[in-house]
């Protein structure tokens, strides 16, 4: 494929406070999470995923989501999102004051079971139960699709397994679908192979990409995404984290790395790199690595 011109700008979704912190066993104080997010807000990020409302038995680190959201300074131009697995989590996020939520399903059956204790079909049925609530509340809804290229349990995932799940997410009226390389194993040609298979009737502007950087492929994968017209990328300040149910996965592509790359390539992010660096340095300073 011939190289296309880079876009004038991209949007970054900061997932550090959720994806970054969720697998860290060391307890991070609520006040420190608030400070981390306040630093991120002051970097003028367009969207921050603040926390999740999942079972605290499954992810103890994020059991204080409501307190964190109550404590942060909310910037008017930033969308604050909570990750929710089911109706219980959705209602908790609404009670806490969130107007934007992210739901999540997987393309691999084994990962679905390990991460959410249900099959892919059952996870879609959970979303069907949640849909009347998010519609009635007029929430913005993001949808993650994990293991789009590789599964920690099943290995390589074929695009044929991914496309029908995307279709089901769109049928539920989900606004933006983030395709996840959960364990950071995908390479640019694999990313391109899936993106080339997306049917033309799906708007490419409704997609985001979510790369973990376990093997250092994440930035090259962003370049592959840009060549296919994708403008939204999930990152975490400090590059921290991973999924507790995806053994071997490391943190997301770091927000600092993506902004620096964009600065070098004249792609605008409209974010304050120094403040993102301060947020990343702060959270990393707390971690016993
Ligand atoms: P389950 O055990 O099957 O749930 O877990 P259940 O419905 O049978 O309920 C069991 C207990 O959990 C009950 O409490 C429920 O009330 C409680 P008990 O009666 O035993 O005291 N419960 C909840 N509590 C608080 N909030 C809730 C909630 N739901 C049930 N929302 C469940 C099913 C989905 C809850 C569980 O599997 C779970 O919480 N999984 C989440 C795991 C997770 O957070 N993984 C990481 C996020 S996904 C990710 O990182 C990937 C992503 O970054 C993209 C990528 O990289 O690919 C998004
Ligand atoms: Mg992730």
pLDDT at 191 over 80: yes
Give the pLDDT mean for 109-137: 98
Name the closest-CA residue to atom 17, ligand 1: 55
Catalytic residue among 148, 151, 243, 262: 243
Q: Residues of 42-77 as b/e, b for ≥16 C-beta within 10 angstroms?
A: bbebbbbbbbbbbeeeebebbbbbbebbeebeebee
151 catalytic per annotation = no
**pLDDT tens across 214-258, in order?**
999 999 999 999 999 999 999 999 999 878 888 878 899 999 999
With a pLDDT cut of 90, the percent of the chain lying above it is 93
Cα dist from 136 to 102, 139, 176, whole Å: 16, 8, 18
Testing ligand 1's pocket by substitution, the residue of 13, 54, 90, 184 carrying the most ligand atoms inside 8 A of its CB is 54
Q: Is the CB of 86 under 6 A from ligand 1?
A: yes
> Roughly what angle, to the nearest 10 degrees, separates helices 255-264 and 218-227?
50
112 lines ligand 1 (CB under 6 A): no
Q: What is the pLDDT of residues 261-282, one digit of tens each?
A: 999 999 999 999 999 999 999 9
Q: What is the mean pLDDT of residues 144-160?
A: 98
The DSSP result for 73-117, as a single string, is: PPPTT-EEEEE--SHHHHHHHHHHT-SEEEEEEESSHHHHHHHHS
Q: Find out whether the beta carbon of 59 lies less than 6 Å from any atom of ligand 1.
A: yes
Q: Please state the rounded mean pLDDT for residues 42-50.
A: 97
Protein residue with its CA nearest to atom 11 in ligand 1:
55
Spacing, Cα 272 to ligand 2 middle (Å): 23
Closest ligand 1 atom number to CA of residue 15: 53
pLDDT mean over 116-140: 98
pLDDT of residue 248: 76
Q: Tell me the average pLDDT across 5-34.
A: 96
Q: Length of the chain in residues, anyone? A: 289
Residues 6+ apart with CB under 8 A from 89: 52, 53, 54, 82, 83
Q: Which residues contact 101 (CB under 8 A, 6 or more apart)?
A: 81, 82, 83, 84, 90, 93, 134, 139, 140, 141, 142
- 204 pLDDT band (50/70/90 cuts)? very high
Q: Which of 43-57, 141-155, 233-247 has the lowest mean pLDDT?
A: 233-247
Q: Is 180 in the pocket of ligand 1 (CB under 6 A)?
A: yes
pLDDT at 1: 53
pLDDT tens per residue, range 63-80: 999 999 999 999 999 999
* 23 pocket-lining for ligand 1 (C-beta < 6 Å): no
Residue 233 Cβ < 6 Å to ligand 1: no
Q: 176-181 and 207-211: which strand pairing?
A: parallel
Report, as an integer, the average pLDDT of 161-174.
98
Q: Which atom of ligand 1 is nearest to the CA of 212?
A: 56
């Amino acid at each position: 494929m011939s190289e296309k011109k880079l876009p004038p700008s991209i949007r970054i979704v900061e997932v550090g406070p959720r994806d970054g912190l969720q697998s860290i066993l060391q307890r991070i104080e609520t006040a420190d999470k608030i400070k981390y997010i306040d630093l991120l807000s002051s970097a003028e990020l367009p969207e921050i995923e603040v926390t999740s409302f999942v079972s605290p038995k499954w992810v103890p680190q994020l059991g204080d989501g409501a307190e964190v959201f109550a404590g942060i300074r909310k910037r008017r131009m930033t969308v604050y999102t909570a990750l929710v697995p089911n109706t219980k989590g959705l209602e908790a996020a609404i009670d806490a004051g969130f107007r934007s939520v992210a739901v999540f399903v997987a393309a691999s059956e084994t990962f679905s079971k390990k991460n959410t204790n249900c099959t892919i079909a059952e996870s879609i049925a959970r979303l069907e139960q949640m849909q009347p609530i998010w519609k009635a509340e007029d929430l913005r809804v993001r949808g993650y699709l994990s293991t789009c290229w590789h599964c920690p349990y099943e290995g390589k995932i074929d695009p044929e397994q991914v496309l029908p799940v995307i279709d089901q997410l769109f049928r539920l009226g989900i606004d933006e679908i983030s395709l996840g390389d959960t364990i950071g194993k995908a390479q640019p040609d694999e990313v391109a192979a899936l993106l080339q298979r997306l049917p033309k009737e799906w708007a490419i502007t409704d997609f985001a990409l979510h790369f973990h950087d376990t093997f250092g492929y994440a930035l090259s994968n962003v370049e592959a995404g840009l060549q296919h017209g994708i403008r939204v990328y999930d990152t975490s300040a400090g590059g921290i984290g991973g999924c507790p149910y995806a053994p071997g996965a490391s943190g997301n592509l770091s927000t600092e790395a993506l902004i620096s790359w964009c600065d070098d390539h004249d792609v605008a992010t409209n974010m304050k790199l120094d403040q993102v660096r301060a947020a990343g340095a702060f959270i990393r300073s707390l971690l016993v690595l």
